[in-house]
Structure formats: C-alpha cells, structure tokens
Structure 1
Amino acid sequence: MAKLFSDREIRAVAIFLPLAGLLITALVLVRPSANPEAARRAEAAMEIRRDSVELRHFDPNTATLDDLLELGLSKHEAVSLLKYRAAGKVFRIPEDMALCYGISDSLYRRLAPWVRIGRKYAIAPEEYRTGRILPEPLTPQPFRIDTVSVRYLRAIGALSKRQAEAFIRWRDLSGIYDMEELRDCYVVSDSVAAALEPYIIFPERKPRPIEEPVELNTADSAALRSVSGIGPKTVGAILAYRERLGGFLRAEQLAEVPGVTERNYEKILKQIYCDSCKIRKIDINFASPKVLGRHPYIAPQVLRKLLKARQLKGGWSTAEELIEEHIMTRKEAARLAPYLQFGSVSGPADE
C-alpha cells in the first residue's frame, strides 16, 4: 500500500507543529489580559464633569484644560478640543467649534453665547490689514441699541468697522425694537446676535397712530411693514402664503405663516383684520393639478385621491360628497370648503 506522505513531508510537519505551538504560547503570554472593569473606569473618568460649572466668556483658541472643565466640559470633550487645536486648527468664528469631533451640537449651543474669538484669530482681523496691534475687546456692558456707536460695537469685538457702519445706517433707517428686527440686519450673524442679546436695551416702540387696522387680504408690502411686529422677512412670507392660500378667511390664520412668532402673533392681531369676501376660490371640478397642489390645505395624498376620483366621477356638487367618498376627513373638508367652488360638471366653467 502506497504511503500518503513522503518521509520528507512527515519530517517537515514534525518540525513545524512544535514551532507553531511555541509561537501561539508566546503570543498568549505576551498579550495583556483584558480588564473590562478597568476600561469602564477609564472611560467613566473621561466623562466626569465638574459639579460647579461657571459659564463665562472664553476663547477656544487659548482656553486651557482647566478653563474648559470649569465651563462644564467633560475631560473627554476638553481633551478633544485641545487635540483639535494642537493639530493646527484655528477657531475663526464661534461656529467652528461645532466642527470639533468631540463637541456635540447640544454642547455647542450651550457654549456659543459665551465664545469670544480674539482679534488674533478672527476672520480678516483688522490689525493684519492696517499693521496696527489693536487692544483686546472690551467686556460688553448693557447698552441702548438706539444710541450705540460704531466705536463701541468695534471695541467689544462684535462687528468690524465696515459692518458697524452698515448696522448704524440700517438702525437709523428702519429702527430696531426687538431681537427679531436685530437679526433682520444683514451684517448681524446669529452668533453675534445671541452673544449681544444679554446686554441690549431696546427702546420703547413709539405707538403708530392707526385710524383703522390693516386689511390683510389687500395690504401691500408697505402697509404690512407698518404693522408693529411684522419685519421685512415676515412681510415676504405673509404675501407668499396669502397667494398660495387665496386670501385669509380669518386673522388667526396668520399663525400658519412661517416666521410669525408666538410673541409677535398676539401683537399683530390687534392691528389687522380680514375681509373674507376678498378670498380667491378654486373650482375643484376643473382646476388643474398644479393649482390644486399649490394650496396649503390640500395635502399630497388628498390630491392624489381627489384627482383619481374626479377622473372617474367627473366632479362634485358639495364638500359633503368629498367626505362621503373618503377623499377628505370632515376636518380637512371644513377647513378647505370656504376656498372651493363647484362648477357644473356638464362642461368647463369660465376661467
């Protein structure tokens, strides 16, 4: 009977197996034993935060480990920021902190109002352009927004000279009476507005003599802007929503407009009214899919059911039929009904 292995192969295996055993034994002895409990303790130590947290202004480019721990960062978060900085990264604006891999969004939002970027690190610092070394920013003190000067805004490091001058021109032209109007100014970023908010003293808005409230469905942008609580951005949002809606049936529908805050809503309601006769209606039996889909009260799934049923049936005579055919719920139909008209299904109505 022939041998399965030659003598040479048997000798090679006999030499290899002891060597392999020795190698495996050496690896087991050299490898440190796993200690899950020690690893958990080390991880927990990195997550411990100091009991006493003192929020104060700081520059992420120069803050020390102790400074960061006192601000409420865990050791892991503080070390991550320091490593990020050691890698050559520079925080030019407060939002750069959100790019640091160890800083969560919630932590950044908590710290953002307290971030002060030094002139040495800020984007386009003035001393680089002029060659002059400027002093460190002053600590902000409460100030009136209607009388603050360009010099003061520059001194606290809030705005550059050009930005501050543009801001003063905007203020003198439009007036600034609350945070929403402050943020409307194009040179004021969200981070700057948030940092200044604790120090700003707004003037009292002078009451505008109004003989009659503003009619919401016929008012142009100038009339809407004259309403206290409606800023330039909100004017555009109201006009766009009014066009999609076909007009406001009730003044309370203004709360549906993006940009109308709860605080301003109550103030605006006292200065406006709606003429429901001014609303524009849609002929549900003949309107195009594009016209129907643009209305904010017709959801996409309702539109699909409506178009399919209209193709089969031809049209409807009342909103109640839409409910009976399960195209809309009673609540949806009640909200939309004032904007509908039902043309004769025997032929297209005049456009």
Structure 2
Amino acid sequence: MAKFFSEREIRAIAVFLPLAGLLVLGVVLVRPKADPAAALRAEAEMEERADTLVMRPFDPNTVDYDGLRRLGLSKHEAVSLLKYRAAGKIFRIPEDLTLCYGIDDSLFRRLEPYVRIGRKYAIAPQEFRRGRVVAEPMPPSRFRLDTVSARYLRAIGALSKRQAEAFIRWRDLSGIYDMEELRACYVVSDSVAAALEPYIIFPERQTAPIDEPVEINTADSAALRSVVGIGERTVVSILNYRGRLGGFVCVEQLAEVPGVTERNYEKILKQICCDSCEIRKIDVNFATPKALGRHPYIPPQTLRKLLKKRQLKGGWSTAEELIEDKILTREEAARLAPYLRFGTRSGSDDE
C-alpha cells in the first residue's frame, strides 16, 4: 500500500502540531478580558462631560479646575493641564495647549476658538500696537446699539476685530432698530444675536409723519417695509398670510401673522388701515379641497367634515347652515363668514 507522506514529512508534522497548539493556547490566555466596570466608568465620565459642557472664552494660564470641567474636559485632562501649569509652564500661544500631556489634537481643535491669552503672558509684537493682543473678555452690560463702539464689542467677546468694524459700518449706513434688523447684518450670527439681546438698547426709529396710513390689503412689499415695525422677514410673512387668508377684514388680524411681536404690533396699528372690500372670497360649495385647505381658518379636521357633508348634501346657502350641520362652531363661523361665498350650480366660479 502506497504511503501518502514520507517519514521526514511525518516527523515535521509531529513537531508542528504541538507548537501550533501551544501558540493557540497562548493567544487565548494572553487576550485581555473585558472589564464591564471600566466600561461603565468611562461611559459615566463621558456623560458627565457632555452634561456640563459650556463653551466660553478662557485663559489657560488662569482658568481653574471647575472652569476646565465646564469646558468639557475630563477629570484626567483638567488635572493634567493644572499639573503642567504648576510645573512652571506658561501658555503664550493657543498651540501651547498641545504640549500638555492629555490634550490631544481633537480636544485642542475644539478649544482653540475659545482660547484667550492674557496680555501678561501673550507674545506681543516687537512694535506693540494697541489692540493686537486680545485681553480677557469682560462681562457685558446694557448698551445702546446706536452708540456702541467696535472696541466694546470686541472686549465682551461678541465679535472679532474685522467683524466689529464691519458691523459698525453696516449700522451707520442702514441703521438697526430691532432684533430682526440686527440678525440681518451678515457678520452677526443667530447665536451671537441671541446672546446680546438681553443687553441691547435699541434706538427709536425717527421717521417722517405718515400722511396716509398704508392699506394692508393692497400694499406691496415696498409699502409694507415703510411701516415702522415691519422688517424684511415680517413683510414676507404678511404677504404669505394675506395670500392664504384672502385679505384682512380688520387690522387686528395682523396679530395672527407669524413674526409680528406684541411690541411691533402696537406700532404697526397706528400706521395701517384695512379695506375689507379688497378681500378675496372662496366658494364653499364648489371650491376644490386644495383651495379650501389653504385657508388658515379651515383646519384639516373641519375640512374633512365639510367635504364629507358637501358630498352628501350638495352645498349650503348660509353660514348658519354650516353651524346647524355641526361643521363650524358659532365662533368659527363668525370668523370665516366674511371669506365665504355660497354659489349655485348655474353661476359658480371654481377656485
């Protein structure tokens, strides 16, 4: 019977198999075991860091342990930075943070926008020029927006030098009289505007007396924009709402427009009027579901009841019938009635 392996090959296999077994056994024994407790501690530390995260400007030469923890640093990272500083090290530029053991590149990139090196330690140019070194941000206080300086906006950490100068030019050219116009400035982000809002004192807009009030149903965007209290965004909201509504029956409906604040509403009422003859009515008996559903006074639930009853009944002659059929309440009917027309099959206009 022929042999499959030579004696030399058999001896080699006999030596290899025990060695392979020992190697597998070593890998199994040396492999690190999972430590559930360590994993839970790491997860708890990450959750604690996320819950206390408050990004704000800081000086790494003076910030304390609690301040570092509020910035999102772990306990190990915060203690590492404090030990580095206790050893006599000084942070002169933001990049010096990367020399601190425990501050990796990803953490540095997150902290870099908020690093403010105080004038005492910062590397100043050979020929010092005022304003080159950013001082530690000062806490903001209430200020008038029409007289505030670029230097103050920089000092409280709201804007950079270029942003502050661009903001002052924008303000002097166009004027800023409310939060909507402040957000319209291209160098002011929504987050910065929200942070500054509690401290801003807006100037009163000085306008020439209005000879005639603006008729809100026929006014175009330019005419609406001339009304004190109506900004660019509010103009768009008014035009969109007027289109869905079919026109305003009374000026008080302006309070329903998104973006019209209570403060601006009082100003606007003195400068507008309303001609209810200009409103556009909708034929409740023949209008398409899309046309009916577009009206802000006909919510989806009311629309479903109306269409179902119209299919069975054919239509109505008065708003009172809509109340009797329990499609509208008396209050809803009173609000919607000026916009309804009850057409007949012989003379109806589909909308």
Into which bin does the TM-score normalised by the smaller protein fall? 0.5 to 0.7
Report SS of the residue matched to 1:182: helix
Within the alignment, does 1:136 sit opposite 2:135 as a pair?
Answer: yes
Partner of residue 255, structure 2: 255
Q: Deviations over 1:280-339 (max 9, x none)?
A: 100111111111111000000111111111122221111111111111111111111100
Partner of residue 194, structure 2: 194
TM-score normalised by the chain length of structure 2: 0.63
Identify which of 57, 61, 73 aligns with 1:82: 73
Offset of 1:175 from its aligned partner?
1.4
| 8 A contact 2:227–2:268 mirrored in 1 | yes
Name the aligned partner's letter for residue 231 of structure 1.
Answer: G
Name the aligned partner's letter for residue 82 of structure 1.
Answer: L
Partner of residue 212, structure 2: 212
Q: Deviations over 1:7-63 (max 9, x none)?
A: xxxxxxxxxxxxxxxxxxxxxxxxxxxxxxxxxxxxxxx9xxxxxxxxxx9637855
| 8 A contact 2:213–2:271 mirrored in 1 | yes
Offset of 1:208 from its aligned partner?
2.7
Offset of 1:206 from its aligned partner?
1.2
Q: Deviations over 1:117-139 (max 9, x none)?
A: 3457xxxxxx9xxxx97323552
Partner of residue 320, structure 1: 320
Q: Deviations over 1:62-110 (max 9, x none)?
A: 5534458xxxxxxxxx5794329948546959xxxxxxxxxxxxxxxxx
The separation in 1 between residues aligned to 2:76 and 2:181, in whole angstroms, is 36
| 8 A contact 1:314–1:345 mirrored in 2 | no
Q: How does 1:83-98 map to 2 (within 5 A)?
A: 83=74, 86=77, 89=107
Partner of residue 57, structure 2: 59
Q: Which has the larger radius of gyration?
A: 2
| 8 A contact 1:215–1:274 mirrored in 2 | yes
| 8 A contact 2:149–2:168 mirrored in 1 | yes
| 8 A contact 1:91–1:117 mirrored in 2 | no
Which contiguous aligned blocks of 4+ residues in structure 1 show a shift greater than 6 angstroms?
Answer: none
| 8 A contact 1:283–1:343 mirrored in 2 | yes
Alpha carbons of structure 1 residues 92 and 189: separation in structure 2 relative to 1, 3 Å: farther
The separation in 2 between residues aligned to 1:306 and 1:205, in whole angstroms, is 47
Q: Deviations over 1:185-239 (max 9, x none)?
A: 3432233223334543432321432111111111111111111111111111111
Alpha carbons of structure 1 residues 215 and 90: separation in structure 2 relative to 1, 3 Å: farther
| 8 A contact 2:281–2:340 mirrored in 1 | yes
Alpha carbons of structure 1 residues 162 and 294: separation in structure 2 relative to 1, 3 Å: farther
Query: Root-mean-square deviation (CA), in Å?
Result: 3.4
The separation in 2 between residues aligned to 1:85 and 1:194, in whole angstroms, is 34
The separation in 1 between residues aligned to 2:216 and 2:328, in whole angstroms, is 28
Aligned pair count reads 255
The separation in 1 between residues aligned to 2:108 and 2:251, in whole angstroms, is 50
The separation in 2 between residues aligned to 1:166 and 1:242, in whole angstroms, is 36
Partner of residue 278, structure 2: 278
The separation in 2 between residues aligned to 1:166 and 1:349, in whole angstroms, is 55
Q: How does 1:22-171 map to 2 (within 5 A)?
A: 59=57, 63-67=63-67, 81-83=72-74, 86=77, 89=107, 117-119=114-116, 134-139=133-138, 140=140, 143-171=143-171
| 8 A contact 2:283–2:343 mirrored in 1 | yes
| 8 A contact 1:118–1:137 mirrored in 2 | no
| 8 A contact 2:59–2:136 mirrored in 1 | no
The separation in 1 between residues aligned to 2:75 and 2:310, in whole angstroms, is 61
| 8 A contact 2:284–2:342 mirrored in 1 | yes
The separation in 2 between residues aligned to 1:90 and 1:147, in whole angstroms, is 37
Partner of residue 293, structure 1: 293
Within the alignment, does 1:342 sit opposite 2:342 as a pair?
Answer: yes
Name the aligned partner's letter for residue 160 of structure 2.
Answer: S
| 8 A contact 2:177–2:203 mirrored in 1 | yes
Report SS of the residue matched to 1:247: coil
Offset of 1:172 from its aligned partner?
3.1
Report SS of the residue matched to 1:82: coil
What are the ranges of 5 or more consecutive residues in structure 2 without an aligned counterpart? 1-47, 49-54, 78-102, 118-123, 125-130
The separation in 2 between residues aligned to 1:323 and 1:90, in whole angstroms, is 67
| 8 A contact 1:286–1:349 mirrored in 2 | yes
